[in-house]
Homo-oligomer: A and B are copies of this chain.
Amino acid sequence: MPVNLLAPGANSLYPVHGVQLGVAKAHIRKPDRKDLLVIKLVEGSRVAGVFTKNRFCAAPVTLCQQFLAKENNAIRALLVNTGNANAGTGEQGMANAVQTCEALSGLLGLASSQILPFSTGVILDPLPVERVIAGLPACMENLTEDNWLNAAEAIMTTDIVAKGISRKLNVGGKEVTITGIAKGSGMIHPNMATMLGYVATDAAISQVALDAIIHHAVNRSFNCITVDGDTSTNDSLIMIATNQAANLEIAEDSADFFSLRDALTEVTVILAQAIVRDGEGATKFMTVIVENGKSEEECRKVAYAIAHSPLIKTAFFASDPNLGRILAAIGYAGIDDLEVNIMKLYLGDVLVAELGGRALSYKEEQGAAVMKEPEISVRVDLARGDANATIWTCDFSYDYVKINADYRS
């Protein structure tokens, strides 16, 4: 069960003026399941994207990057299917992705390069392109601004709950809405960490400012989570600004810029954490904080060594304060000149290790008490600088193995 995470309530995802969403059951992999989503954007919308760095990135990822790279690209729609990743599919995969864009562009009266395609699901299988195309008219029929929850459900794969969040804020005297949805619960690792995420606002903002915000946000959210250390072929985050809120267009580094940036970042952080809370088989939500390092890079190295260790993740699953495994991970994180005698390790607020060994004040019952909680923080004080990093992850349970051993069957 997801850790402290519920699906969004019926009215909790606010419409974003200028964004219409339509879903369909296209039978792409499984029957009777919403698996196709069209997001239609009003003319004048601006779109920014960040994508997986996997060299085997999916055909739609390559297309998205090409289309977004065009000057004045005028992106007007997004097309998302689940059930098939269209990755590891070679030239045919690219042709299939193009074909789906062409089909949707025909229905919407757009150029196909105005459509961004996304796929998620099994890798290496050919995309059943005819089913995607056959499902499009059904998406058209329910295109509406008040359809975010259906959209969040339509992009789920092994997710147990739909993920979405909305915020309203005042920008330059105008009310601005932000709504975001995301999916992903396995093959989650930076960079990028989400499999798919879509965040829209009706604010007016320059393209340069929007591009700056998406990178700011992703570095504090989806690039700070890991479930299994596997980097997907399809990870994509899209940020949309529809220019419908009647605010004065936001330029980079203005006061409004920082307000909107922080609100959008908060939305991405909540979505990224939701992915971890719904991590495959997760029973615990772990926050790994590494502070006082020489650089953010070394802090992240240590945090990821902890967050990736199957030994640590299984001990957390068992609520076993087997903290030596954390020291071992810190020790092999790759910091050659790490001084083990000056660093300190905390579990929650409990000092666990100092002077190279177990703290004299530490009692096993204290560790056991912290371990019983569903949300646990591990804090490492490297005591050698002033850089910090925070990573979110989950434990490693029987169900992780079960889900991933059974996923295709």
Partner-B contacts on A (CB < 8 A): 53-57, 85, 87-93, 122-126, 186-187, 189, 228-233, 308-311, 314-315, 317-318, 320, 322-325, 327-332, 335-336, 338, 340-341, 353, 355-358, 396-398, 400-402, 404-409
Contacts and interface: CB of A to CB of B under 8 A. Distances in A.
Contact of A398 (B93, B124, B341, B402): B402
B324 A88 contact: yes
Contacts of A92: 357
Dominant SS among interface residues on chain A: loop
A310 B53 CA distance: 19
A379 to B, nearest CB: 17
A330 B55 contact: yes
B233 A89 contact: no
Given A331-B233, A398-B398, A408 B353 contact: no
Given A55-B340, A398-B398, A323 B405 contact: no
B356 A90 contact: yes
Contacts of A229: 308-310
A324 B405 contact: no
A322 B407 contact: yes
7 nearest CB pairs, A to B: A123-B324, A90-B357, A56-B331, A124-B324, A318-B405, A231-B332, A314-B404
B87 A328 contact: yes
Given A55-B335, A310-B229, A330-B56, A87 B404 contact: no
B230 A311 contact: yes
A55 B88 CA distance: 39
B358 A230 contact: no
A217 B24 CA distance: 59
10 contacts: A55-B335, A89-B358, A125-B324, A233-B327, A233-B331, A310-B400, A310-B404, A318-B406, A398-B398, A398-B402
Contacts of A88: 323-324, 327-328, 353, 356-358
A86 to B, nearest CB: 10
Given A88-B356, A230-B309, A358-B89, A328 B405 contact: no
